[in-house]
Structure 1
């Protein structure tokens, strides 16, 4: 029965709701087709469409908030319309909870629902509500089955080392020479796009990833690599500038080392080209995840000991920064908590540099170098890591088949993960570069030190000693100066750093 006018002779007010779960092209063509069909249904019934609500690329099953759907409910509550037009009921709901709320609202406000594909749903009657619930249950079952199929397919691809789909990862996607027809996200027009081989590395981007690893292994910061990427004109696969977060994520990807991952777990070796050796990847991951080295992506330190030197006032363990606070005319190191006085930054840095240069100029400076990777069997460690990952996979399969208990699965997994962490740490050590290498054995250590970038000097400082700034004594010192060098407490980290001629204080 057509409902074109209400008892007062006015035309019926209707709203249209359109939704598509996944818009791969970004052109919105799916919701456009729904809207056209819904407008045609409203036209046939003589309804006035007062609003069209669109949720594009939003799944009802996922639980993600649908802004326009919520806006439609609020408008129906306010009496905006008495008819909702939708292409199919599964465009409205795939959650029983959502459906029941919608039914209650329609009963309270006298709203009827009409669909292009399933006809009218009279939610004011028991049979209409039953029909809506049955259709909702069927739609939810379809979503669950689809979710399981997609998850299973992704897991199988990951286990086989295949590309799992999604946005092109920076570093891969070499054009094959073929093209395919796609829809432009901005214009909605069909265009020809190159077909990419996600197993083949893009030479320029692969070199950039390798440069990032070398930068961190040389003791420089992540920010310096971000600046390098910007200077070279590199962008993300979506065409955006590469910031600190994006750069960090790029270097943390196991894919760089040819490692396949599923749900955060390493599951094997990928079929794609490897950009860096596994040991280099492990070393860079260790650097980026080391809480002692993690710094804010804010301003770049301009002084040797900024956020490295520690405050020694009343047992305070906070680090210091350089500031002119307190009316000082010269930059000075002051505790981050701002208690106590400041110590002249140039004097402190000069003293620390003198200590480092003097110690590294001695004949026995080579004793300070950390053990190298020569004693490590990298191939054996990689094989050990692969065997442990297979054991984790086998444990999961046994538990899923009910052949072992949860306690057995948990205990076995904990042991395997601990062993895997140990093997990964050893692999990381194989690629870690000692920041002292460029200084030890140099004909002129001070000249070599001055030739380093500040970030490399700071890396050497972190590796070699701890500096704590204690409260200074007032007045003139025995050497005639007013700077209390004895208040700069030095603790050497490397075994063999101290010796007869060491200037420890």
Structure 2
């Protein structure tokens, strides 16, 4: 297999394989240079190049599938060529497993490998295979070492609070007045885009994020904020409508509170001024992560007790919804399972509203309020939070400097994050507002109730009262009406 030139009158069939790990410009310059050098080697040796295989912007070390390389192996197994040309053997493989597969195919099908940089790889002899394996081990070491350096650099960048790149997050990125050139991935053309200062908040978007925090803390829903954003004409950084998922992600982002993140984990304070306070952020995250919240966007409820009032027929545990089912002319509350009859929605809501307004109009209404954050030392909690983050930052710095191993870093950071989670839960409690605050102490509770939007009213209902709709008695009631108020069972939660 050491012959590099074919006998007179016989041409050797060769194939070329080229690969580059990162093509930052999209111009294919790296693979084009490799191909030119490989074609020059083929011409020098008198070989006929019958195929060129190209894997652009794919790392052999990353483990991603290389379609052109897999096709090369398939074609070699079918006898397409007897010579493979590569710029360097590390272009072919950086994995010992891949190398062994390549050696096996080369031996079975009489394939010789030649490289521009490393010369002929004779895989037909034990010493040649040993040399190839040594080259592969060195290449693997280089790849692992490079990956570790990249990880350390990214970690240090995150700890320093610098922007890690990617799509501009809603709320951040003020144009600096400078422009930079990038390659459009769709057209391949070079275009200019503005340079953004990611440590500065976009005023209008920052105000919108803060409004989202305030709305959720007032007991309003995520859907309300998403609807508010649409009414104000806000879109994502890419110009798309902001939906339920996008809105949730925006409010959950630690960056809003000035918290730096690396691989989804908090690693310290960023270099930017936060939009929301940490206590606001923790409270909003706790609200959005609450498993008892309805996470399905669904349709917007239009009645006070829709999906809140419970069905009281037998042992049923379902909630009720408003419908005109059964030929009724008026909307009525009916069990989600559709068994039993419907109760007039306007009458039930009016009765429940009167109960709430009357109870919150009493002199002792303040006794219903939940304990406030007075029992929490927010300053001490924030100080503890900072100390834990500082430990995370120190651990990251030690790892970045190579002073501790990955297992040591993982163990230390896991412990610190568990402690931080406990502090975060306390901070979230400090910022969460009792929905009853909107009414307790108001000069005119009914007027204040009417001034609330439906979602705030529903939040008060959930916090204060449990309502069950029982089967109604037939006929005229003692008060002369046909509506059975006794079939509305109520239980105060506070």
Aligned to 1:189: 189
State the partner residue of 1:433.
433
Cα 1:469–1:133 change in 2 (3 A) is: farther
SS at match of 2:173: strand
Tell me by how many angstroms 1:87 deviates: 3.9
Deviations 1:443-464 (A, max 9, x none): 5544543443333233222222
Q: In structure 1, how many angstroms separate the alpha carbons of the residues matched to 2:454 and 2:86?
A: 63
C-alpha separation between the residues in 2 aligned to 1:20 and 1:223? 46
Aligned to 1:226: 226
Q: Offset of 1:51 from its aligned partner?
A: 6.2
Partner Cα separation in structure 1 for residue 439 and residue 311 of structure 2: 28
Shift of 1:6: 13
Q: Give 3-state SS (helix, strand or coil) of 2:430's partner.
A: helix
Q: In the alignment, which residue of structure 1 is the partner of 2:92? A: 92
Deviations 1:294-332 (A, max 9, x none): 411344344434443445566554545556678877666
Hey, what's the Cα distance between the residues in 2 that align with 1:141 and 1:119?
21
Q: Helix, strand or coil: the match of 2:59?
A: coil
Q: Which has the higher mean CA deviation after the structures are superposed, 286-295 or 361-370?
A: 361-370
1:385-400 correspondence runs (5 A): 385-390=385-390
Counterpart-to-counterpart distance in 1, 2:418 and 2:70: 47
1:134 match: 134
Following superposition, the deviation at residue 253 of structure 1 comes to 1.9
Counterpart CA distance in 2 for 1:60 and 1:270 is: 34
Cross-structure match for 1:63: 63
In the alignment, which residue of structure 2 is the partner of 1:292?
Answer: 292
Task: List aligned pairs for 1:61-460, cutoff 5 A.
Answer: 61-74=61-74, 76-77=76-77, 84-311=84-311, 315=315, 317-322=317-322, 338=337, 340-341=339-340, 343-344=342-343, 346=345, 348-373=348-373, 376-390=376-390, 420-442=420-442, 444-460=444-460
Count of matched residue pairs: 483
Contact 2:155–2:396 (CA under 8 A) maintained in structure 1: no
Cα distance change on mapping 1:123 and 1:335 into 2, 3 Å:
farther
Unaligned runs of 5+ in 2: none
Deviation at 1:382, TM superposition (A): 0.9
> Any idea what SS the aligned residue of 2:280 has?
helix
8 Å CA contact 1:330–1:344 kept in 2: the answer is: no
Secondary structure at the aligned position of 2:163 is classed as: coil
| CA apart distance, 1:30 | 4.2
Q: Which moved more, 1:313-322 or 1:183-192?
A: 313-322
Match of 2:13 in 1: 12
Q: Cα deviations across residues 399-424 of structure 1 (Å, max 9, x unaligned)?
A: 9989xx99xx78x975x666544432
Question: What SS does the aligned partner of 2:437 have?
Answer: coil
Query: Is the 8 Å Cα contact of residues 5 and 12 (structure 1) preserved in structure 2?
Result: no
The TM-score, its normalising length taken from structure 2, stands at: 0.80
**Residue 324 of structure 2 contacts residue 330 of structure 2 at CA under 8 Å; is this kept in 1?**
yes
What is the distance in 2 between the residues matched to 1:303 and 1:457? Answer: 10
Cα pair 2:86 2:114 within 8 Å, conserved: yes
- Matched-pair contact (CA < 8 Å) for 1:323–1:334: yes
Deviation at 1:251, TM superposition (A): 1.6
Deviation at 1:22, TM superposition (A): 3.4
Does the CA-based 8 Å contact 1:288-1:294 persist in structure 2?
A: no
Measure how far apart 1:277 and its partner are: 1.0
In structure 2, distance between residues paired with 1:244 and 1:31: 43
TM-superposed deviation, 1:168:
3.4
Structure 2 CA distance for aligned equivalents of residues 323 and 80 of structure 1: 71
Secondary structure at 2:435 match in 1: coil
What is the CA–CA distance in structure 2 between the aligned matches of 1:97 and 1:148, rounded to whole Å? 21
Specify the alignment match of 1:497 in structure 2. none
Alpha-carbon spacing, 1:270–1:373, altered in 2? closer, same or farther (3 Å): same
User: CA–CA distance in 2 between the matches of 1:72 and 1:334?
Assistant: 66
Q: Distance in 2 between matches of 1:138 and 1:331?
A: 76
2:72 aligned with 1:47, yes or no? Answer: no
Shift in CA distance, 394/172, structure 1 to aligned 2, threshold 3 Å: closer
CA shift, 1:467, in A, is 3.4
For 1:261-284, what per-residue CA distance to the aligned partner results, in whole angstroms no more than 9, with x for missing partners?
334443332211211111111111
**What CA distance in whole angstroms lies between the structure 2 residues aligned with 1:132 and 1:328?**
83
Runs of 5+ consecutive residues of structure 1 not aligned to the other structure: 495-505
Residue 436 of structure 2 aligns to a residue whose secondary structure is coil
Deviation by residue 1:146-184 (Cα, 9 ceiling, x = unmatched):
121122222323333343444433322222223333333
In structure 2, how many angstroms separate the alpha carbons of the residues matched to 1:161 and 1:118? 43
- Are the equivalent residues in 1 in contact too, given 2:369–2:437 (CA < 8 A)? yes
